[in-house]
Amino acid sequence: MGRTLAEKVWDTHVVRAGGAGGEPDLLYIDLHLVHEVTSPQAFDGLRLAGRPVRRPDLTIATEDHNVPTQDIELPIADEVSATQVDTLRRNCAEFGVRLHPMGDAEQGIVHVMGPQLGLTQPGLTVVCGDSHTSTHGAFGALAFGIGTSEVEHVLATQTLPLRPFKTMAITVDSAETADGALPRGVTSKDIILAVIAKIGTGGGQGYVLEYRGSAIESLSMEARMTICNMSIEAGARAGMIAPDETTFDYLEGRPHAPQGADWDDAVEYWRSLRTDGDATFDAEVHIDADSLVPFVTWGTNPGQGLPLSERVPDPGGITDDGERITVEKALSYMDLMPGTPLREIAVDTVFLGSCTNGRIEDLRAAAGVLRGRSVRDGLRMLVVPGSMQVRAQAEAEGLHEVFTAAGAQWRSAGCSMCLGMNPDQLAPGERAASTSNRNFEGRQGKGGRTHLVSPLVAAATAVRGSLSAPDDLD
Amino acid sequence: MQPFTRHTGVGVPLRRSNVDTDTIIPAVYLKRVSRTGFADGLFSAWRAEQDFVLNSEPFRSGSVLVAGPDFGTGSSREHAVWALSDYGFRVVISSRFADIFRGNAGKQGLLAAQCEQPDVELLWKLLDSEPGTQVTVDLTEKTVQAKDLTVSFSIDDYTRWRLLEGLDDIGLSMRYSEAIADFEIARPSWMPTTTPVRGG
């Protein structure tokens, strides 16, 4: 019987098959990405046990979660953040791990750095102590987030004991267009928000999602990364997309991509990484691409989203007690009245950035909307490139001038306001339209309120002052 | 890791679904470089509200958390497990756990016991009507018992065995060092390495 993409990648990485008694498979890890927040206790564990890093040459670190995005040449003001960054530097030096520190040309959010260096490749197993590691699945890699104990495990053994995931096909295609082109104003962010709203924040639990269909195939690599990135928000450990010409074109010539004869060997192998015609998935979901519209969230989890044209839902109409209470609590936290048109929700801050939407295409899309327009008076807009390389590219294209001319703040690379570990935070009660991935209570700052949006919606919202799509602008 | 066989402690009803790890411990508390000291940040936003369950006796000193479905969603931060353990919790009961959270819990000796939602509701009812009820969780029998109520829970056999024995995962995997080395020899030479640094 045929195998799915995920099963093929899994099978080629089994070091030792699990035995009786439910013992898991031991899976080899090809690439381990490390950052300052989830690694200190792991390195400490190695030190205590007197263990080295088994494969420093399959490990790479960067500083992203904590780092300030302005005045980066100065010492980090927050002492605890500074300690964490210093600890990573000492650990990398001691254990021989390559590090791209703050200020380095390759520094950036760990999930932006891996692909831009060409380290993320089809068919690899990729892990990182960060749930958004699912991003790398856009290349046809099996990539997933792990906890700190597992970080230590991979550092020590380059393997992880794991039980196979179930597989779910998410097909997004169009009856109207052969090439799968998305309706005007719709981006891959809207696709994934629609998927999560459909299957729920627990719908993907235990599964690897494989996104397929003409609408997925039509997407650029960066747009595919946005979709795979948020697989975890549907509860899935990983999301994958089969590699194709778009993938190979993106990879060719990148620093760590194979070269010469190696490149030909690699591409030949990568072409085999497709779900077989006779393979079966454990679950299947279909999304009609023609029906997609710009999506925004109104609540406190990423599944609480609706088309921008809709209204804030009314919990009164929900019969299930648990579900009604959940919606009531979300609306209370978000300070929203049922029935309010989503387009009338005014925001204080717009955040453009994160591992979800902080790549060059995202900045280009937002700049396209902001060119010749201004951020509404009194509204603050932060533009935080996903990496220093994205920042340099944007500056080479003059995008930074578009942002600053419109009144937005142009920052250095990092996770920034996506999770507010650095000084970029929402104040209590402040409301944001954010291109990031989580609208949990307090995620972007204690008491802060988050609406998840695409870069196009973020930019239009910055201009109009309330949740908007570019078509709403004059 | 300390072996886990049986635990008895005050049950805490947490009637919330989708309790994400940002809520369990917000990012601002993740800056420590040790595994301890995270109890202060546990549910910090909710603990600031007077009527939150952990703000009243006898729940304050609880050690068995009974939560709604989809517990531990979101971020992979193991700090969520450290914070729960550091506060004094030994067991979390839910009808559905996020995958990464469940894995992290199993590595740290925090028992993630999966009960059917109707059984969770029964426990909630009991804990609300008789605050301070002692709950006994038996990993050998895979049961949760409180007063006259006994319900079963599920956990995968391997994690259960590791918890019962208090075994460390890394040590277990290291028994297969030879198989790992053999696997490495067979990997294609074109697969990427982070060193030497190329380009840039």
Does the ipTM exceed 0.90?
A: yes
State the Cα angle at A228 between A23 and A281, rounded to 5°: 55
Give the pLDDT of residue A423: 93
Mutant choice from A34, A37, A415 vs B, greatest count of B C-beta within 10 A: A37
Using DSSP's 3-state secondary structure scheme, residue A432 falls into strand
Mutant choice from A9, A27, A41 vs B, greatest count of B C-beta within 10 A: A41
Give the pLDDT of residue B184: 98
* Nearest Cα to Cα of residue B9 among B76, B60, B72: B60
Of B26, B35, B45, the CB nearest to A41: B35
Give the pLDDT of residue A145: 97
Amino acid type, B42: L
Count Cβ–Cβ pairs < 8 Å, chain A vs chain B.
Answer: 220
* Nearest Cα to Cα of residue A444 among A335, A328, A354, A325: A354
State how far residue B46 is from chain A, nearest Cα, in angstroms. 10
Q: Where are the strands (E) in chain B, listed by range? A: 6-14, 64-67, 91-94, 111-114, 134-138, 143-146, 149-152
pLDDT tens digits, one per residue of A435-458: 999 999 999 999 999 999 999 999
Give the pLDDT of residue A22: 79
Of B22, B98, B99, the CB nearest to A443: B22
> Residue B81: closest CA among chain A residues belongs to which residue?
A147
> Residue A423: closest CA among chain B residues belongs to which residue?
B28
Q: Residue B180 and residue A28: Cβ atoms within 8 Å? A: yes
Give the pLDDT of residue A402: 98
Looking at beta carbons, which pairs linking A470-473 to residues 24 or more positions away fall under 8 Å?
A470/A185, A470/A369, A471/A184, A471/A185, A472/A343, A473/A369, A473/A373
Number of H helices, E strands in chain B: 8, 7
pLDDT tens digits, one per residue of A135-176: 999 999 999 999 999 999 999 999 999 999 999 999 999 988
State how far residue B161 is from chain A, nearest Cα, in angstroms. 9
Contact residues for B48 (Cβ-Cβ < 8 A; gap 6+): none
Q: Is the pLDDT of residue B112 over 70?
A: yes
Q: Is the pLDDT of residue A70 over 60?
A: yes
Contact residues for A253 (Cβ-Cβ < 8 A; gap 6+): none
Q: Residue B77 and residue A26: Cβ atoms within 8 Å? A: no
Q: Is B168 exposed, middle or buried (0-12, 13-18, 19+ CB in 10 A)?
A: middle
State how far residue B13 is from chain A, nearest Cα, in angstroms. 14
Of A31, A129, A322, the CB nearest to B68: A322
Give the pLDDT of residue B200: 53
Q: Residue A262 and residue B78: Cβ atoms within 8 Å? A: no
For residue B182, how far is the Cα from the chain centroid?
Answer: 35
Q: Residue A80 and residue B31: Cβ atoms within 8 Å? A: yes
pLDDT bracket for residue A179 (50, 70, 90): confident
A416 and A386 in contact (C-beta within 8 Å)?
A: no
pLDDT bracket for residue A107 (50, 70, 90): very high
User: Percent of chain A having pLDDT more than 90?
Assistant: 93
Structure tokens at A338: 């049922």
Structure tokens at B151: 């319900």
User: Rounded to whole angstroms, what are the CA distances from A460 to A305, A367, A463?
Assistant: 18, 10, 5
Mean pLDDT of all residues in chain A?
96
Q: Is the pLDDT of residue B1 over 80?
A: no
The shares of helix, strand and coil residues in chain A, as percent rounded to the nearest 5, are 40, 20, 45
Q: Residue A41 and residue B28: Cβ atoms within 8 Å? A: no
Mutant choice from A440, A441, A444, A450 vs B, greatest count of B C-beta within 10 A: A440
How far is it, in rounded angstroms, from Cα A138 to Cα A160? 22
- Segment 131-150 of chain B within 8 Å of chain A by CB: none
User: Percent of chain A having pLDDT more than 70?
Assistant: 100
Q: Is B73 on the interface with A (CB under 8 A)?
A: yes
Q: Is the pLDDT of residue B32 over 70?
A: yes
pTM, entire model: 0.95
How far is it, in rounded angstroms, from Cα A339 to Cα A357? 29
pLDDT tens digits, one per residue of A306-365: 999 999 999 998 998 888 988 999 999 999 999 999 999 999 999 999 999 999 999 999
Placement of tokens 């109890």 in the chain: B39
**pLDDT mean over A375-383:** 98
Structure tokens at B114: 């999966």
- Answer whether the bond into residue A24 is a cis peptide, omega within 30°: no
What is the maximum alpha-carbon separation in chain B?
68
Alpha helices in A252-339 (DSSP H): 260-271, 321-334
Contact list in B for residue A147 (CB cut-off 8 A) is 76-78, 81, 100, 103-104, 107
Contact list in A for residue B174 (CB cut-off 8 A) is 156-157
Mutant choice from B96, B102, B110, B173 vs A, greatest count of A C-beta within 10 A: B173
- Strand B111-114 relative to strand B91-94: parallel, antiparallel, unpaired? parallel
How far is it, in rounded angstroms, from Cα B98 to Cα A438? 15
Q: Is the pLDDT of residue A30 over 60?
A: yes
How far is it, in rounded angstroms, from Cα B95 to Cα B98? 10
Phi first, then psi: what are they for A219, rounded to 5°? Answer: -80, 150
Question: Which residues is A410 bridged to in the sheet?
Answer: A383
How far is it, in rounded angstroms, from Cα A383 to Cα A369? 14
HSE of A182 in the Cβ direction (CA atoms, 13 Å)?
20
Contact residues for B90 (Cβ-Cβ < 8 A; gap 6+): B4, B7, B9, B63, B64, B109, B110, B111, B137
Give the pLDDT of residue B144: 98
Mean pLDDT of all residues in chain B?
95
**pLDDT mean over A201-223:** 97
pLDDT tens digits, one per residue of B119-170: 999 999 999 999 999 999 999 999 999 999 999 999 999 999 999 998 889 9
User: Rounded to whole angstroms, what are the CA distances from B21 to A131, A161, B71, B80?
Assistant: 11, 23, 8, 6
A138 and A108 in contact (C-beta within 8 Å)?
A: no
Element (H, E) at A148: helix A148-157
Placement of tokens 């300052």 in the chain: A36
Q: Residue A21 and residue B158: Cβ atoms within 8 Å? A: yes
Of B75, B107, B173, the CB nearest to A131: B75
Of B27, B69, B99, the CB nearest to A237: B99
State the Cα angle at A99 between A98 and A101, rounded to 5°: 165
The crossing angle, in degrees rounded to 10, of helices A360-370 and A388-396 is 40
Q: Is the pLDDT of residue A237 over 90?
A: yes
pLDDT bracket for residue B199 (50, 70, 90): confident
How far is it, in rounded angstroms, from Cα A141 to Cα A209? 12
Give the pLDDT of residue A23: 87
Q: Is the pLDDT of residue B2 over 90?
A: no
How far is it, in rounded angstroms, from Cα A47 to Cα A44? 5
Structure tokens at A366: 């937002």
User: Rounded to whole angstroms, what are the CA distances from A443 to A156, A302, B18?
Assistant: 32, 12, 14
A367 and A399 in contact (C-beta within 8 Å)?
A: yes
